[in-house]
Amino acid sequence: MSRARRFVAGSGSFGRLNRLERRRALWAYLFLSPNLIFVFVFSFIPMLIAFYFALTKYSMLQPPEWVGLDNFERLLRDRKFMISVRNTLHFLGIITPLRLILGLAIAILLDQRLRFRAFFRTVVFLPWITSGVVVASIWSWLYNVDAGLLNYILRVLGLPTSYWLTHQASAMPSIIIAALWRSVGWVVVLYLAGLQGIPTVYYEAANIDGANAWQRFRYVTWPLLRPTTLLILVTTMIGSFQMFDLVYVMTSGGPLNATTVMAHQIYENAFTFLKMGYASAQALVLFAVVASLSVVSFRWIRSDVG
Amino acid sequence: MRTALLLVICSMLLTLGAPAAIAQDGVTLQFWTRIGGNETANNLVTSLVDEWNEANPDIQIDYLGIPGGEYRTKLLTSIAGGTAPDIVGMDVAIMPQYMGLEALYAVDDLISQEMRADFGEGLWFSNTANGQTFGVPWWSDPSAIFYNKSLLEGAGVEPPETWEDLRNVVEAVTQLTDDPETEVYGVVLPVVGPWVMFIWLPYLWGNGADLVDAYDCAAFNNDAGIEAMQLWVDIFQAGQMPRSAVFGDGTAAITSLFYSDRVGMYTSGPGMYRRALEINPELDLGTIVMPRPEDGNHSAYLGGDNLVILKGSEHPEEAWQFIEWLVDAQRMTELAEANNGLYIAGLITRESAFTDDHFERYAYQQAFAQAQAVGRAPNTVHLSEARMPVWENFQAALDGQMSVEDAMSDAELRVNEITGCDA
């Protein structure tokens, strides 16, 4: 391992580097500094402030008032917050495998020599760069019980129509479908990059050994896509915990709290009920969950890749 | 090189340190509204501000129209961050929170008797807390019912005056067709998000109940409240109201049903009239005030904006001068005339600003003016949070998961817990 790499990896120390390496490291930090300052000012400092707010009663219109751990105690008795945790896990549990399977399947398809391949790749990726509010509005129209396209098609086909967003049982699956449509393009792009990074010699060797298509996928593609899969898994989990825009626009957490998620509860407490202290406590719980999951996942990735 | 860098840094620091805008030998006040997304209304306010700025070089107004969806968050974060505006066109729905948390400047000493007497009681109610006044009604958005004349005539019914009439009218209109492709509904009574407050509360008030009483204790779990909820439950469960109005998949989708001749009656504010006719010029619209219980009163929710001065303002006197100028009766009249009878995004608030022939020329506004005279806005600091249990239990009752009585009892307990009522 080079000295510079040791330094970056944390196993070396700045003092042990020679003058040239020190100079290079300083330049590296100089170039990193705009981003580091941004993260420090807009993420790290607000996070520290949120720790303080979580221990206060704070409406944003009056100075914070110290209440100790009251907000956390209240969290345990908050039925709606518990429902939002359950709904978030429900969302996460269903969208994660769907996103992986569908994303990989489309990526494999778009990795073939197809006509208009670039066009299809663009089409698949488009929803990802579309604003969440726009996506939510489009799907709200599609799902509309009385005037929506989906129920119209079902009627034309002679099939029973659905309540979509207007029933407790179908509201969350409807949101998951919209979220999947929006995000699968991003997974496809990552998997495409992963697929194109697999050296063709492995496939040639597998062909010589007489491997069929499934065996090539099972023993070559899938293991070599493992780092990509883990990256998608981690980011999907983090993204699912932060899910907000679709819920806010499409259902406001209803019907009967069937789609309220943690981020929606945090927003509602902070900006609708003016309970920034309590919302900060909820945000810290969310932060702890996401941070723990991230640490575990990245260790897993490191051990797997390393 | 070093000198050049130094110069760049110095000029950046100077730019950052300089106040955004200072009127020469005077003050510059920040004025924010929530109508940034309404192009017509926003242009009207911009031209008003330009007119003021030209006539008042010593008190300059820096205007910002914020789109409705971003308004609350931006306002709150600006207050928390110490960069709040001086004057705000404040949504009456959030007035109680801001008054209760002492974020507004009391203006009792600045208001003349003449000005006070020119506003109706309902409008004024949303400006007051603990015996103090914190703002002036600017434009109002009273809720009343738009009805589709063709559908009601087709069903052979007259617009409803009472709750019993309402039941009959929605039944008759719903029976116009049973084709699921073109199904017609009698009425939309939305239970989507905050709408339940805007539209159901007047039914509650008209029957003599309320969300909370003067002690912030739930005041709806009684015969009057149960009747008001039962009315909506009966209409919904008879299939006379679209499901999307109750369980919410977007307000735009609900209005589209009304615009396309598939709903007999729809509750909204005066601003909807023009929008509806822009989308469907063939729509034959009538307006009525919300129906009353057989032995009760008409009522309405008075939305809209009040002009308030935030407590952090260093120039409340100058801010008041601008507010007084904005709500001048003559100016209201002229502006409404120039905008097809609409004032900013709703109705004129000063009684003396209505001309003698206003309702002859803008007949649809008659019902809204009547609503303005009998309506009000809820005035509890807990409104945002206290409405949630009512909304949730309302949905449960409509869906048949709870009886109306159980829904009310449970909501009462939860509302009292939120407000801290220990009755």
- Parse chain B into domains and list their residue ranges: 19-141+303-364, 144-299+382-419
CATH match for B19-141+303-364 among 3.40.50.2300, 3.40.190.10, 3.40.50.620, 3.40.630.30: 3.40.190.10
Q: Which of B79-83, B170-174, B384-388 is predicted most confidently?
A: B170-174
Both A10 and A131 in a single domain? Answer: no
pLDDT confidence of residue A4: 45
- Sorted by sequence, the CB contacts under 8 Å of residue B233 that are 6+ apart come out as B397, B398, B404
What CATH number corresponds to the domain at position A269? 1.10.3720.10
**Mean pLDDT rounded to a whole number for chain B:** 89
Whether residues A225 and A189 share a domain: the answer is yes
String of b and e for A232-269 (b: at least 16 CB within 10 Å)? Answer: bbbbbbbbbbebebbbbbbbbbbbbbbbbbbbbbbbbb
CA distances from B307 to A254, B124, B214, B352 (A): 33, 12, 25, 18
Domain membership of residue A58 (yes or no) is no
Q: Are B243 and A254 a contacting pair at CB < 8 A?
A: no
* Cα separation, A270 vs A282, whole angstroms: 10
Domain co-membership, A46 together with A87 = no
A256 neighbourhood in chain B, CB within 8 Å: 392, 395-396, 399, 401
B392 closest CB neighbour out of A257, A271, A274: A257
Residue A64 lies in a domain: no
ipTM above 0.95, yes or no: no
Q: Closest to A61 (Cβ–Cβ): which among B98, B247, B248?
A: B98
| Among the listed residues B275, B294, B293, the one whose alpha carbon sits nearest the alpha carbon of residue B285 | B275
The tokens for B287 are: 């307006």
Q: What is the pLDDT of residue B54?
A: 96
Query: Do A45 and A106 fall into the same domain?
Result: no
The shortest CB-CB distance from B80 to any of A60, A145, A256 is to: A60
Q: Do B242 and A145 touch (CB under 8 A)?
A: yes
Same domain, A281 and A173: yes
B192 contacts in A (CB within 8 Å)?
A: 252, 254
Mean per-residue pLDDT for B288-314? 95
When pLDDT is cut at 50, 70 and 90, the band that residue B275 belongs to is confident
Do A19 and A158 belong together in one domain?
A: no
B179 phi and psi angles, rounded to 5 deg: -80, 120
The reported pLDDT for the residue numbered B21 is: 44
Q: Cα–Cα distance between B43 and B334 in angstroms, integer? A: 15
Identify whether A247 is part of a domain: yes
Domain B144-299+382-419 sits in CATH 3.40.190.10? yes
Whether A171 and A143 have beta carbons less than 8 Å apart is answered as no
A17 found inside a domain: yes
* A244 Cβ under 8 Å from any chain B Cβ: no
More confident residue, A147 or B80: B80
Domain encompassing residue A12: 3-53
Q: Quick check: A61 and B248 CB within 8 A?
A: no
Split at pLDDT 50, 70, 90, the class of B247 is confident
As a whole number, mean pLDDT of residues B269-286 equals 92
Chain A positions in Cβ-Cβ contact with residue B256 (cut-off 8 Å)? 147
Residue contact A144–B97, C-beta within 8 A = no
- Amino acid present at A153: I
Which of B112, B129, B31, B146 lies closest to B377 in space, CA to CA?
A: B129
Q: Report the alpha-carbon distance of residue A252 to residue B192 in Å, rounded.
A: 9
What whole-number distance in Å separates Cα of residue B301 and Cα of residue B383?
A: 14
pLDDT in tens, A217-269: 999 999 999 889 988 988 888 889 989 999 998 888 888 899 999 999 999 99
3-state secondary structure of B133: strand
Name the CA dihedral angle for B3, B4, B5, B10, rounded to a multiple of 10 degrees.
90
Q: Does the pLDDT of residue B15 top 70, yes or no?
A: no
d(CA B6, CA B9): 5
**Model pLDDT, residue B253:** 67
Q: Is B312 on the interface with A (CB under 8 A)?
A: no
pLDDT surpassing 50 at residue B161: yes
Residue A231: per-residue pLDDT: 87
Q: At what angle do helices B39-55 and B316-326 cross, to 10 degrees?
A: 120
User: Which of A141, A163, A276 lies nearest to residue B243, judging by beta carbons?
Assistant: A163
Q: Same structural domain for residues A139 and A277?
A: yes
Q: In the predicted model, is pLDDT for residue B313 greater than 60?
A: yes
Query: Which residues neighbour B313 within 8 Å (Cβ) at sequence distance 6 or greater?
Result: B29, B84, B86, B87, B105, B319
The reply to whether B144-299+382-419 shares the fold of B19-141+303-364 is: yes
Looking at the structure, do residues A253 and A115 belong to the same domain, yes or no? yes
Tell me the chain A residues in contact with residue B72 when contact means C-beta distances shorter than 8 Å: 271-272
pLDDT in tens, B205-236: 999 999 999 889 999 999 999 999 999 999 99
Q: Which among B146, B112, B116 is positioned nearest to B128, based on CA atoms?
A: B116
Instruction: Mark yes or no for CB contact B399/A144 under 8 Å.
Output: no
pLDDT, residue B225, reads 96
pLDDT of residue B193: 66
For residue B191, pLDDT over 80 is answered with no
A96: contact with B, CB 8 A cutoff: no
Asked, for residue A243, whether it belongs to a domain, the answer is: yes
pLDDT digits (tens, 9 = 90+) for B349-360: 999 999 999 999
Task: Taking the CA atoms of B173, B153, B166 and B93 in sequence, report the sign of the dihedral they define.
Answer: positive
Asked if residue A273 belongs to a domain, the reply is yes
**Residues A133 and A225 reside in one and the same domain:** yes
pLDDT value, residue A305: 58
Q: For each of chain A's 306 residues, which pLDDT tens digit applies?
A: 444 454 444 445 566 678 888 888 899 999 999 999 999 999 899 999 999 999 999 998 889 999 999 999 999 999 999 999 999 999 999 999 999 999 999 999 999 888 888 888 888 899 999 998 899 989 988 998 877 899 999 999 999 989 899 888 999 999 999 999 999 999 999 999 999 999 999 999 999 999 999 999 999 999 999 889 988 988 888 889 989 999 998 888 888 899 999 999 999 999 989 999 999 999 999 999 988 888 887 787 777 655
Higher pLDDT, B186 or B9: B186
Burial of A199 (0-12, 13-18, 19+ CB in 10 A): exposed
Determine whether the interchain pair B257/A147 forms a contact, defined as Cβ–Cβ distance below 8 Å: yes
8 Å CB contact between A71 and A55: yes
Q: Which residues of B touch A84 (CB under 8 A)?
A: none
pLDDT at B143: 94
- What pLDDT sits at residue A11? 47
Could you report the per-residue pLDDT of B113-150, keeping only the tens digit for each?
999 999 999 999 999 998 999 999 999 999 999 999 99
| pLDDT at residue A15 in the model | 62
Examine the domain organization and report whether A170 and A242 are in the same domain. Answer: yes
CA atoms within 13 A on the CB side of B211: 27
User: Cβ of B76 under 8 Å from any chain A Cβ?
Assistant: yes
Determine the pLDDT at residue A304. Answer: 63
| Chain A residues with CB-CB distance to B387 below 8 A | none
A273 to B250: CB separation less than 8 angstroms, yes or no: no
CA–CA dist B310, B316 (Å, integer): 8
Q: Residue range B283-312: average pLDDT?
A: 95
Q: What domain count does chain A have?
A: 2
A231 in the same domain as A133: yes
Report yes or no on A65 lying in a domain: no
Interface of A with B in 34-93 (CB under 8 A): 59-62
The distance of Cα B52 from the centroid of its chain, to the nearest Å, equals: 26
Contacts with B253 from chain A: Cβ below 8 Å: 140-141, 144, 146-148
Please give the pLDDT value at position A14.
Answer: 60
Strand pairing partners for B286? Answer: B147
CA distance linking residue A232 with residue A210, whole number of Å: 31
DSSP E strands in B228-382: the ranges are: 263-268, 285-288, 302-309, 347-348
Compute the mean pLDDT over every residue in chain A, rounded to the nearest whole number.
Answer: 89
- Whether A131 contacts chain B with CB within 8 A: no
